[in-house]
Chains A and B, each alone.
Chain A
Amino acid sequence: MRHSLIGAILVAASALSTLPGAAAAQDVRAQLLERGAPAEFADQVAAIVANAGAEQLPTEPLVSKALEGWAKRARVPQGRVLTALNQYVVRLQTGRDIAADAGFDPVPGPVVAAAAEAVGRGMTREQVSQVMGFASEPAAAATGLTVASALMAQGLDAEAAIRVVGDAYRGGRAPEEILEFPSALTGLQAQGQDMAQIARRIMQGGGLPSPTAPGMGGRGNRPGTVPGGSAEGQKKKKGTSGGQ
């Protein structure tokens, strides 16, 4: 029976706990069961995750996607979830290949995951490679891809999205700083600019302004405007000491 075969494979896989992905597979299986998923579905998901881990692919995005699929079960049949997961694995493999070609050795998980997402959002291999080329470090590559694909999803031209990330890194900006770009884009739109204008400005080397600059429109969560504000969030975290 398919179910017990998969179950047996999983038991064997988790016994050989040196296999990467075995822990993630156990984790997603346990979480799905806890949320009322049928055992066969949980086993099949866990098998996909375990195989991905064994291939040295990052498993975290798969686990998250599986839980998302199960959470949306009223509209997404289980078969569709499994198909989507398998498609995700293919995108992760593609992401890994692109990263390896771009010179990452070893290939860091976050870069593979970001590349897979970017490909899923319609970035071409060349575009993904291009963004990776701006970044010598995994942090910059992963964030660059995330931001570029977010800007594209907002409607910005691919060329401009890639250009603004490249210019920022060349100009010495840190990955955290470019995370502000989608907000900046929204701010400019709130000021009345359209995407074509914004893209033109970027292609002329004008970049994107800081979203918290005066005159930038839109509603924001700037420190102090939300009860507690982000400063309090920081204080809470920094105050925590870790005894050893």
Chain B
Amino acid sequence: MGSQSDAVLVRRILAGQVELYQVLVERYRAEFGRYATAMLGGDADDAADALQEAFIRAYRSLASCREPERFKAWLFRIVSNQCHNTRRGRRGHLRLDTIEDPPDDSTERQLEANEIGRTIQAALDDLTPEQREAFVLKHIEGYSYADMAVLLEVGEDALKMRVHRARDELQRKLEGLR
């Protein structure tokens, strides 16, 4: 299929070429996959559920995506909402143990890395949803503030504040380790 733009794909899908939706699914599962996992306590299964539900909902309301060129932002909102719903539905479920313990023959460095990973995940889970989302998009997905502003429809200054607060929280927890 080459790399057709979102807008072209959306129009063709709406015209009846339903199979092309798979291209969009693959594209954005890859792009939003880490976001979803990070937002859901590191649980890839929860993330899979959230993404699946989001993609199916997005297909159902595809005709209401008014600007196919902005498909990514439109889809992101659905994914973000779905992560929120999934998370709310699993409140109380212990997630800290979902990052697997390393096998016995791992190195010192790996043990340390896992502990850092767990700490960061725990710190993320303690943030407000807005801070968590902003941090994940900035540091895990690598978006610029400009892109994030478009995606979330929030001003860059507000986003910076959220990210800074999130970083401070994480830094405090990381310093507790050292």
Q: Do any beta carbons of A and B sit within 8 angstroms of each other in the complex?
A: yes
CA distance A229 to B19 in the complex (A): 38
- A36-53, CB < 8 A from B: 53
Q: B10-33: contact bitstring with A at CB < 8 Å (1 yes, 0 no)?
A: 011001111110110000000000
Please judge, given known A-B contacts A17-B22, A18-B22, A22-B19, whether A106 and B12 are in contact too, CB under 8 Å: yes
Q: Which of B1-16 contact A (CB under 8 A)?
A: 1, 8, 11-12, 15-16
Question: What B residues does A138 contact at CB under 8 A?
Answer: 15
Number of A-B pairs, beta carbon distance below 8 Å? 31
* C-alpha gap A58/B20 in the complex (Å): 13
A21–B12 Cα distance when bound, in Å, is 14
Chain A residues lying within 8 Å of B20, measured Cβ to Cβ, are 20
User: Shortest CB–CB separation between residue B29 and chain A, in angstroms?
Assistant: 14
Residues of A within 8 A of B164 (CB): none
**Interface residues in A, total, Cβ within 8 A:** 17
Measured between beta carbons, the chain A residues less than 8 angstroms from B17 are 20, 56, 106, 109
Q: Which of B12, B16, B19 contacts A18 (CB 8 A)?
A: B19
In the complex, what residue of chain B is closest to A108 when comparing beta carbons? Answer: B15
In the bound complex, CA of A53 to CA of B19 (Å): 10
Indicate if the CB atoms of B57 and A18 lie closer than 8 Å: no
Alpha-carbon distance between A25 and B11 when the two chains are bound, in angstroms: 23
B16–A108 CB distance below 8 A:
yes
* Docked pose: A19 CA to B16 CA in angstroms: 14
Name the residue among B19, B20, B22 with the largest chain A CB count within 10 angstroms.
Answer: B19
Within 8 Å by CB of B15, from A17, A19, A109, lies A109
Contact with B along A8-36 (1 / 0, CB 8 A): 00000000011111110000000000000
* CB neighbours of B57 from chain A (8 A): 244
Is residue A110 contacting chain B, with contact meaning CB distance below 8 A? yes
In the complex, are the beta carbons of A106 and B19 less than 8 A apart?
Answer: no
B11 touching A106, Cβ below 8 Å: yes
Which residue of B1, B11, B16, B18 contacts A110 across the interface (Cβ within 8 Å)? B16
Which residue of B1, B16, B22 contacts A109 across the interface (Cβ within 8 Å)? Answer: B16
Question: Most B CB atoms within 10 A — which of A19, A20, A109, A110?
Answer: A20
Given known A-B contacts A18-B1, A244-B57, A23 and B19 have beta carbons under 8 A apart: yes
Chain B residues closer than 8 Å to A131, beta-carbon distance:
none
Which chain B residues border A58 with CB–CB below 8 Å? 16
Q: A20-B19, A22-B19, A108-B16 are in contact. List 19 more A-B contacts (CB 8 A).
A: A17-B19, A18-B1, A18-B19, A18-B22, A20-B17, A20-B18, A20-B20, A21-B19, A53-B19, A58-B16, A106-B11, A106-B12, A106-B15, A106-B17, A107-B15, A108-B15, A109-B15, A138-B15, A244-B57
* A-B contacts, 13 listed (Cβ < 8 Å): A17-B22, A18-B1, A18-B22, A20-B17, A20-B19, A20-B20, A22-B19, A106-B8, A106-B12, A108-B16, A109-B16, A138-B15, A244-B57
